Amino acid sequence: MTVTHRETPHVPNPSPDTDAPVGVWLNGARGSVATTAITGLLALRAGMADSTGCVTDTGMLRDAPLASWNDLVVGGHDIVDTPLEKKAESLVDSGVIPAPMLAAVRGSLPEVERNLRTGYDARTETAPLAEVVERLAGDIEEFRARNGLSRVVVINVSSTEPPADHRPEHDDLDALTRAMADPDDKALPASSVVAYAAFQAGCGFVDFTPSTGARLPALEMMAQRERVPFAGSDGKTGETLLRTALAPMFTSRALHVLSWAGVNLLGGGDGATLEDPRNARSKLSSKSGVLPALLGEDVTAPLHIDNVPDLGDHKTAWDHVSFEGFLGVRMSMQLTWSGVDSTLAAPLVLDLARLTAAAHRAGHVGPIEELGFFFKDPIGTDEHALAEQAQALAAWANALDGRGDS
Amino acid sequence: MTVTHRETPHVPNPSPDTDAPVGVWLNGARGSVATTAITGLLALRAGMADSTGCVTDTGMLRDAPLASWNDLVVGGHDIVDTPLEKKAESLVDSGVIPAPMLAAVRGSLPEVERNLRTGYDARTETAPLAEVVERLAGDIEEFRARNGLSRVVVINVSSTEPPADHRPEHDDLDALTRAMADPDDKALPASSVVAYAAFQAGCGFVDFTPSTGARLPALEMMAQRERVPFAGSDGKTGETLLRTALAPMFTSRALHVLSWAGVNLLGGGDGATLEDPRNARSKLSSKSGVLPALLGEDVTAPLHIDNVPDLGDHKTAWDHVSFEGFLGVRMSMQLTWSGVDSTLAAPLVLDLARLTAAAHRAGHVGPIEELGFFFKDPIGTDEHALAEQAQALAAWANALDGRGDS
Amino acid sequence: MTVTHRETPHVPNPSPDTDAPVGVWLNGARGSVATTAITGLLALRAGMADSTGCVTDTGMLRDAPLASWNDLVVGGHDIVDTPLEKKAESLVDSGVIPAPMLAAVRGSLPEVERNLRTGYDARTETAPLAEVVERLAGDIEEFRARNGLSRVVVINVSSTEPPADHRPEHDDLDALTRAMADPDDKALPASSVVAYAAFQAGCGFVDFTPSTGARLPALEMMAQRERVPFAGSDGKTGETLLRTALAPMFTSRALHVLSWAGVNLLGGGDGATLEDPRNARSKLSSKSGVLPALLGEDVTAPLHIDNVPDLGDHKTAWDHVSFEGFLGVRMSMQLTWSGVDSTLAAPLVLDLARLTAAAHRAGHVGPIEELGFFFKDPIGTDEHALAEQAQALAAWANALDGRGDS
Amino acid sequence: MTVTHRETPHVPNPSPDTDAPVGVWLNGARGSVATTAITGLLALRAGMADSTGCVTDTGMLRDAPLASWNDLVVGGHDIVDTPLEKKAESLVDSGVIPAPMLAAVRGSLPEVERNLRTGYDARTETAPLAEVVERLAGDIEEFRARNGLSRVVVINVSSTEPPADHRPEHDDLDALTRAMADPDDKALPASSVVAYAAFQAGCGFVDFTPSTGARLPALEMMAQRERVPFAGSDGKTGETLLRTALAPMFTSRALHVLSWAGVNLLGGGDGATLEDPRNARSKLSSKSGVLPALLGEDVTAPLHIDNVPDLGDHKTAWDHVSFEGFLGVRMSMQLTWSGVDSTLAAPLVLDLARLTAAAHRAGHVGPIEELGFFFKDPIGTDEHALAEQAQALAAWANALDGRGDS
Ligand SMILES: NC(=O)c1ccc[n+]([C@@H]2O[C@H](COP(=O)([O-])OP(=O)(O)OC[C@H]3O[C@@H](n4cnc5c(N)ncnc54)[C@H](O)[C@@H]3O)[C@@H](O)[C@H]2O)c1
Ligand SMILES: NC(=O)c1ccc[n+]([C@@H]2O[C@H](COP(=O)([O-])OP(=O)(O)OC[C@H]3O[C@@H](n4cnc5c(N)ncnc54)[C@H](O)[C@@H]3O)[C@@H](O)[C@H]2O)c1
Ligand SMILES: NC(=O)c1ccc[n+]([C@@H]2O[C@H](COP(=O)([O-])OP(=O)(O)OC[C@H]3O[C@@H](n4cnc5c(N)ncnc54)[C@H](O)[C@@H]3O)[C@@H](O)[C@H]2O)c1
Ligand SMILES: NC(=O)c1ccc[n+]([C@@H]2O[C@H](COP(=O)([O-])OP(=O)(O)OC[C@H]3O[C@@H](n4cnc5c(N)ncnc54)[C@H](O)[C@@H]3O)[C@@H](O)[C@H]2O)c1
Ligand code: NA
Ligand code: NA
């Protein structure tokens, strides 16, 4: 299946049979990705922007029963209190949000601002995790009730955490719940606390980051118990996106990849976070499964992420692929990707909100492997080839039951 | 469908039910692509090389009823008389054929040499085309008979011609046949004379070049009449291959490509031929359909082919893609491809021989659109997306009837 | 001599002994380069910008007797009447001028606007060139008188013209002057008419374009007669700048360059102008002398300039260098330059104004070969190596007599 | 001063007044660089190769009183016993030495082989360093005597060591000599033991690696005492070479470099050695002085060296430069260098042998800062700009006294 024609101007999917509105709860709501998604959504609604970059507005998903842009209501948690407006201004300065777009939607930001609450900060929190979960889930439920929302999708777009050490409680929901009552036991990393709270509030959960999130057996059990869907991990927006488009080319042409080296230069909040090697480990590990899965073997694949503050959100990635063809002859390919990270991520966050809400509504429970198209490290599947992921997404989404909760 | 695992060492398809051997008749048999294919086939058979670069030896085509490498017999036409051995030596010098490989198969080259005949040279030929066709078809038939071949596939790997001017005879086989009796009327370009001869000899025909070949209504009629298959055009081995892997990424991610500029630097015989702007026009036109088909619209796409003799067969292509994402933000991507042209082309020529022979045997008549995977300008289809082409190829080839001629 | 330390913040050269103010007359005053130079100069004066990109503010030229930024007064000719303010706004949109900078200097633009006059448009002009020259020179003299300027430097930053056909009058000032009286004889291209008018008005002339300008024996005679200096041609701001820094590396390391291929993608006014192959010929020819001069021999050097409108002023150039080292081993280098053309050109225009005024004041007559540092095709010298040009510039400028006209 | 014309075919400097022959003692004689230098020198002498890549054969050094290629005799130490011939064969396989060249000089390799001795291996040596020095110096003296050499230059081309920890003895030659008598005290790293032995044998010493070598006050004292010259450190052959050609371009154009990121991919022995982060530290530190010196300030400059075995000696380096121009506008530049490391290094090793011998002969004592042109981390100077280094080299070498020892 090929998507040969972009639909411009987009025809928003009508939503006769989705019981709108739908909530989008962003964990990390004052970050770059979140602020770009919020500003962009307001600009879309104001007719100031088209939906370039949004997969859910293409012909590929024309039959998916999705909430319209007008039906999305945004709220969220963060642990800093930078006003959205100030963050949006800094994104204007760094070329992510065009100045006229912010000007046009500035008046609507306070409405979103009112839906933001203080998140969970492990460095300062003294209450037991059980209480934290109560508070976070309570915020989300209050948001849902106050706005008359049919359902809420919680999306983690907060700073990348280090990988969590394994604990036996991670495999056993009851043990985990007991441990969380202990004020001295940080039994879960922050992203998993958020997933727990989302599930407890009866919400679908999407992890756009490489953090642990819902990827623990105990949390998967909980999603099953609460009958909610979840998806992740780590939005695929740059170098990895390219790799999942290109590596299958080598395989299908029987060309033997010998090494695939990469370096990523970026600044911004994400660059600063990933400068800490402990955080970078999560990102590097999230990226590392792609090549072996697509090439069918391990290849030499050194990979670096460097914080280059002057680049801000303008990420530059270079890849060098060395491969062998007929008669053992060596060849190579290089790629330079100059992408604006939040520009690439924000529309996918909106897509994931719409698709996860639709899945939830259609009764999908547990990991949504058909959303692997969006992720570097897709939960529930080893399929990394982009074209195949697009086909699986379309087949699934276009067949979702849009008649509402059964 | 994804090809996740390369099969190494390859398990040659057994050929119990193909009535081998099969002939491969190369038009342009003393050129770089042909000589690399010939030497490589001999090296494969001698166990000196594996089939890296050959699609027909991958798991993707594991059920296709293909002749084994041992069952292929090579012959061909050319208009120069450079000995194969000398050409192969020059390919060793330019890094296309490893020296030990030539050393190992040198003794088998005379056997192929004996199957080569003088081709049709429009600049010097004085006989009417009808006679030329008789001679060429006669050479092929003699080759088939002498070697006891079940069938022969004719593959055009000769120098790229200028585009042919349209003539009414091109649309009408009878009128064409009449015109070809006139010694003063070069009613067809050389590549089409070869296609005509192939069909007349009852052979399938593959055009690996962007020349006119079989792409005239009169010749298509003739293929139908002779009940033979044909395929083309213009092997997809470098920049265009990449484009057909990457352009669908932009489309499926709803990213709006604004321009896609390219430059190709190459030397060798192909470089020298394409230095003539009339020949280059065929190549540029063959490449030009890809982006509009994949992007759904025309984009600014300047494209150059430069003859850089010192590069020889080591083609270097640079592509610059400028695109727009969410909120109209501009981004870009660059690609540098350093490929050895004949290394990339030769295994595909072998693949096409096996697949076209299998199609012929299974009774396929006319254009084989499922072979579009191999071509820049696929006959009979507008599908250019590489992953979709791979799927179509596999579905078709694995389902071919291998029980022989009905 | 090395410039190891950037001077920041710059210390403007004091101008006790230059009889300021100095006029800068831009031919093409409403174009991108000119408007960026004008806006930038105003921003510099307003303390809104530092002089990054201006060579005359570095330690390298610390002893040159230059007019201060405050002492420059700008006027000019153009053949369109787009208001400067509107042009500046479009340069804000395309990322050349930061929005706050335009905001800060907007109030000062009308002052410059008042100094702009209608230029010479060959397509519509009916008067003989002699009259045109009178008018243009008159505009400049009036500007000088009205603003009490010590001297004026005329700088051509108008659209690139096609190369001019040679005529005998170009070698003989008297014959030329006679031909210019004939209303039907366009004896000179527009850029040369401007140079003629500059000289007639007693002004130094700089050609920042590859057009003919002052490069005719008759005009050189005139400069001698009027005792004025001139400089050019074609500002060196991107690919050629890089080549003059890099080619000497290969030479001094005895590495043998085999080919140096290049492609330039750009949009904007310059991109549109150069899309016409006649205009492009001037640019390509201006660029073509560099490699042979620096490498000591001709190399294969295909070069393209493509109009890619979406890139605007953001020029992207790719260079591929193939070279041979010890024992004949082949290696290569690639370069991608992503520069904003007017950003790179504008400060050099200001530098050239200051330096040419200083040369004029110090009594320099005829071509200033020491300004070769700034140009792709330096008048009066074959030295293209950037480091050597920088040394020559510094030695000359720092030794200029600053005590004023003798 | 510009080197505009390559001299081909080279005219070997006549050596009437150098008391030839001259010894070249390679520490690490069985490595890639050494073997390429040895094979190449033999090929030069056999007339099989020209001296492309050798700076000492260019017009730039035409007046330097250098030994001719025929007057160089090679010997050396290594700690492995791979035959030179076998190493040379592996360099043929990896594309560093052309097969016909090895064929032509194979017969002369045993002559060099006979001059090779076992080096100092810190991991296995049990004798005190004083004894090791005696042994190594003895080997060199025996080589000099046996071959009737006027002098010997010792060049370190062995594997890069980790940086050495500072010890008080490093500042005091007497204390150092005492410590070296203690069999349990490894008071010096291997490269410095070699420098010590070279000085003791009355030889000049060149460090082509980033190891400590002669760069300790105690060893510098010793060079003064023995009245011998020395030079280093770390041959400048790729990314750093480019940087020293390009960074001055930014400075002289007043462009403000914000960051300069780099990654180096290489295999071979050097790649394997540098995979150990302790060894890589020496290389990274050697490279790190260049940008601050040339840009006049520290910039963000992440730098990686990755071992990619399949690349062998074919090093690929990518650099990304982000810079700011007029009005604060951001631009960027990228570079990909595909060089064959030993091909680039070997001719410089031969150059350094000739130049250091000439310096020794002319009575130069201590560090030769004029050889900075060849090094990443030049001893005795902060000048890193390539053009200035070339000028200093030429001025110095062409003025060397060639009349012989006084
Ligand atoms: N931009 C992309 O292309 C992309 C792609 C894949 C993944 N991601 C991931 O998305 C996440 C967000 O990226 P960004 O560029 O917006 O980063 P950012 O640093 O700009 O924003 C992160 C936000 O999370 C907040 N935060 C931190 N800890 C929190 C907590 N415990 N609870 C709630 N909020 C918390 C921070 O205060 C900040 O506002 C990162 O994890 C990044 O790795 C981004
Ligand atoms: N190598 C690739 O990656 C690739 C990809 C796509 C298409 N192609 C096409 O394949 C063809 C062959 O490429 P190549 O690199 O081998 O070129 P080449 O110049 O080395 O070989 C062409 C051969 O064709 C012969 N020839 C010319 N006119 C002929 C005629 N009328 N009849 C018979 N033989 C004739 C020539 O004598 C020569 O031996 C070209 O048309 C090229 O465009 C190659
Ligand atoms: N920007 C750079 O880096 C760079 C470098 C070297 C040379 N140049 C040259 O500088 C010139 C200006 O470039 P630009 O980008 O500003 O182009 P532009 O198209 O934006 O501006 C050119 C201006 O010249 C005016 N013009 C045309 N014909 C004229 C005439 N006969 N008399 C007076 N004015 C006339 C046009 O109306 C326009 O306003 C071009 O020739 C370009 O090739 C630019
Ligand atoms: N090739 C270049 O472009 C380049 C540039 C700058 C510096 N260098 C340096 O040159 C050196 C040689 O590089 P190479 O590629 O030839 O490496 P290599 O690994 O091929 O060769 C190193 C040789 O040194 C020998 N050796 C190791 N320890 C020794 C000791 N204690 N005494 C004597 N010999 C010893 C090894 O056995 C080996 O034969 C490295 O330090 C490298 O960093 C190379
Ligand atoms: Na087609
Ligand atoms: Na000149």
Nearest to A2 among B52, B57, B383 (CB): B383
Nearest to D302 among A308, A310, A320 (CB): A308
**HSE-up (13 A, CA, CB side) for residue A118:** 7
Residue A306 Cα, gap to closest chain D Cα (Å): 7
Partner residues linked to A204 by β-bridges: A153
Which residue on chain B is closest to D335 by alpha carbon?
B336
Which ligand approaches the C-alpha of residue A207 most closely? 1
The chain-wide mean pLDDT, for chain B, equals 93
The chain-wide mean pLDDT, for chain D, equals 93
In whole angstroms, give the CA distance from residue C251 to residue D4. Answer: 7
Nearest to B338 among A326, A331, A335 (CB): A331
Give residue-wise pLDDT tens across range B81-122: 999 999 999 999 999 999 999 999 999 999 999 999 999 999
In whole angstroms, give the CA distance from residue A111 to residue A127. Answer: 30
Give residue-wise pLDDT tens across range D174-187: 999 999 999 999 99
Which ligand approaches the C-alpha of residue C82 most closely? 3
What is residue C285's predicted lDDT score, i.e. its pLDDT?
87
Question: Do residues D228 and D237 lie in contact, with contact meaning Cβ atoms separated by under 8 Å?
Answer: no
Instruction: Give the confidence band of A286 by pLDDT, cuts at 50, 70, 90.
Output: confident
Instruction: Write down how long chain A is.
Output: 406
Would the pLDDT of B405 be above 90?
no
**Any A CB within 8 A of B339 CB:** yes
In whole angstroms, give the CA distance from residue A33 to residue C288. Answer: 47
What is residue D18's predicted lDDT score, i.e. its pLDDT?
53
Instruction: Give the confidence band of D404 by pLDDT, cuts at 50, 70, 90.
Output: low
Would the pLDDT of B166 be above 90?
yes
Question: Do residues A159 and A273 lie in contact, with contact meaning Cβ atoms separated by under 8 Å?
Answer: yes
Question: Do residues A245 and B386 lie in contact, with contact meaning Cβ atoms separated by under 8 Å?
Answer: no
Would the pLDDT of B3 be above 70?
no
CB-based contacts of A107: which residues, under 8 Å, 6+ apart?
A: none
The chain-wide mean pLDDT, for chain C, equals 93
CB-based contacts of A285: which residues, under 8 Å, 6+ apart?
A: A163, A210, A377
Would the pLDDT of B14 be above 80?
no
Instruction: Give the confidence band of B404 by pLDDT, cuts at 50, 70, 90.
Output: low
Mutation test residue for ligand 3: of C81, C157, C243, C279, the one with most atoms within 8 Å of CB: C157
Please, what's the b/e burial string for D292-315 (b: 16 or more CB within 10 A of its CB; e: otherwise)?
bbbbbeebbbbbbbbbbebbbbbb
Which amino acid residue places its CA nearest to atom 19 of ligand 1? A269
User: Amino acid identity of D395?
Assistant: A
Question: Do residues B77 and B27 lie in contact, with contact meaning Cβ atoms separated by under 8 Å?
Answer: yes
Instruction: Give the confidence band of A327 by pLDDT, cuts at 50, 70, 90.
Output: very high
CB-based contacts of D123: which residues, under 8 Å, 6+ apart?
A: none
Residue B320 Cα, gap to closest chain C Cα (Å): 9
Residue B11 DSSP symbol: -
User: Amino acid identity of B370?
Assistant: E
B256 sits in which H/E element: strand B256-266
Among the listed residues A98, A121, A116, the one whose alpha carbon sits nearest the alpha carbon of residue A43? A98
In whole angstroms, give the CA distance from residue D19 to residue D148. Answer: 10
Neighbour tally for C94: CB within 10 Å: 17
Instruction: Give the confidence band of D9 by pLDDT, cuts at 50, 70, 90.
Output: very low
User: Amino acid identity of B120?
Assistant: Y
What is residue A18's predicted lDDT score, i.e. its pLDDT?
53
- Work out the average pLDDT over A136-156: 97
Distance C224 CA to ligand 6 centre (A): 19
| Helix, coil or strand: residue D133 | helix
CA dihedral A108, A114, A119, A125 (to 10 degrees): 140
**Any D CB within 8 A of A297 CB:** no
Instruction: Please report the ipTM that was assigned to this predicted complex.
Output: 0.95
For residue C342, which atom of ligand 3 is closest to its CA? 1
- Pocket (CB within 6 angstroms of ligand 3): C 27-28, 30-33, 77-80, 119-121, 157-160, 190, 208-209, 234-235, 237, 268-270, 273, 341-342, 344-345
Which ligand approaches the C-alpha of residue B382 most closely? 5
In whole angstroms, give the CA distance from residue A388 to residue A392. Answer: 6
CB within 8 Å: D327 and C40: yes
Report how far Cα C117 is from the mean position of its chain's Cα atoms.
20
Instruction: Give the confidence band of C404 by pLDDT, cuts at 50, 70, 90.
Output: low
Based on the number of CB atoms within 10 Å of its own CB, is A303 exposed (0-12), middle (13-18) or buried (19 or more)?
buried
Residue C238 Cα, gap to closest chain D Cα (Å): 10
What is residue B61's predicted lDDT score, i.e. its pLDDT?
97
CB-based contacts of C343: which residues, under 8 Å, 6+ apart?
A: C36, C53, C96, C313, D325, D326, D327, D329, D331
Nearest to D387 among C255, C331, C385 (CB): C385
Residue with token string 């991990």: A233
Would the pLDDT of C13 be above 50?
no
In whole angstroms, give the CA distance from residue C269 to residue C90. Answer: 12
State if residue B200 touches ligand 2 by the CB under 6 angstroms criterion. Answer: no
For residue B342, which atom of ligand 2 is closest to its CA? 1
| Structural domains of chain C, with CATH | 22-235+342-398 (3.40.50.720), 239-339 (3.30.360.10)
CA dihedral A85, A87, A89, A93 (to 10 degrees): -170
A341 sits in which H/E element: helix A341-361
Based on the number of CB atoms within 10 Å of its own CB, is C298 exposed (0-12), middle (13-18) or buried (19 or more)?
exposed
Q: What phi, psi does B55 have (nearest 5°)? A: -70, -30
Distance C358 CA to ligand 3 centre (A): 25
Distance C161 CA to ligand 3 centre (A): 10
* Least confident range of B62-66, D9-13, D107-111: D9-13
In whole angstroms, give the CA distance from residue D303 to residue D301. Answer: 6
* Least confident range of A375-379, C283-287, D209-213: C283-287
Would the pLDDT of C283 be above 90?
no
What is residue A404's predicted lDDT score, i.e. its pLDDT?
56
Would the pLDDT of B71 be above 60?
yes
- Work out the average pLDDT over B208-222: 98
Residue A331 Cα, gap to closest chain D Cα (Å): 10
**Any A CB within 8 A of B4 CB:** yes
User: Amino acid identity of A250?
Assistant: F
Q: Where are the extended beta strands (E) located within B57-172?
A: 72-78, 116-118, 151-156
- Beta pairing class for D22-27 and C72-78: unpaired
CB-based contacts of A184: which residues, under 8 Å, 6+ apart?
A: none
Instruction: Give the confidence band of D287 by pLDDT, cuts at 50, 70, 90.
Output: confident
In whole angstroms, give the CA distance from residue D366 to residue D361. Answer: 13
Q: How far is CA D179 from CA D126, D169, D175, D202, in A?
A: 15, 8, 6, 22
* Least confident range of B57-71, C7-21, D265-279: C7-21
What is residue C287's predicted lDDT score, i.e. its pLDDT?
85
- Work out the average pLDDT over D239-267: 97
In whole angstroms, give the CA distance from residue B116 to residue B83. Answer: 10
Distance D404 CA to ligand 3 centre (A): 61
